[in-house]
A = this chain, B = another copy of it.
Amino acid sequence: MVPAPPPAAPGEPAPPLRRRGERMRAAVLAATVGVLAEHGLAGTTVGAVARAAGVHETSLYRRWRTRENLILDALSEQADAALPVPDTGRVRDDLAAYFAALARLLATAQGEALLRLSAERDETLPDRRLPYWTERLERGAVMVRRGVERGELAPDTDPALVVEALAGPLFTRALISGAPLGEAYASHLVDLVLGGALPRDRPAPETPAPE
């Protein structure tokens, strides 16, 4: 993760730098995460981010158009860095590691802010919600697809459905019920969704037979 630059002292805006393209984008997104961490969702204005990043406010509006787009972009980049897709060779271990990391992320203020932004409705966001989450689902579905290819999962497994069954309860705890989010909870979910609730007459899902 790129560390955020320290915010400028009040009344003393940093001189606008003419950084362009990817460097400017990375600096602004890092500054956004820094401002979010310090001032929360409500205190993260485009002006505060511009001051922290040392760029003109108008540059931010030109590129991101809205505060929501800017925050969503910053948090998405951070979420992707916090959620690498593991490849251990065993689908249960991959899913348990990935969804435990998601539970940890959602238990942080930034993770919850990301989720809350995705749940907010405004004229600028609906366009981005479905593509954004479709892409996130697709990242997770890779692990399931590998499990199917290795014969660890049934050949007719729907990878997107498996990912939704694992992510949905975590999102619900973070956003709706307020119930605690722990790695053990993520692990039990993985066992349920892989093994099912029907009575079992074969090895437990923790130890799938290697090929």
A interface residues (Cβ-Cβ under 8 A, vs B): 115-116, 118-119, 126, 129-130, 133-134, 137, 144, 147, 151-155, 157-158, 161-162, 164-165, 167-173, 175-179, 188-189, 192-202, 205, 208
Contacts and interface: CB of A to CB of B under 8 A. Distances in A.
**A contact patch SS:** helix
Contact of A188 (B161, B175, B178, B200): B161
B158 A119 contact: no
B188 A194 contact: no
B208 A176 contact: no
Contact of A154 (B171, B179, B197): B197
Contacts of A171: 168, 171-172, 176
A195 B192 contact: no
Given A151-B199, A192-B158, A198-B154, A176 B134 contact: no
A86 B172 CA distance: 24
A183 to B, nearest CB: 15
Given A171-B172, A198-B153, A208-B198, A193 B178 contact: no
A194 B198 contact: yes
Contacts of A133: 176-179
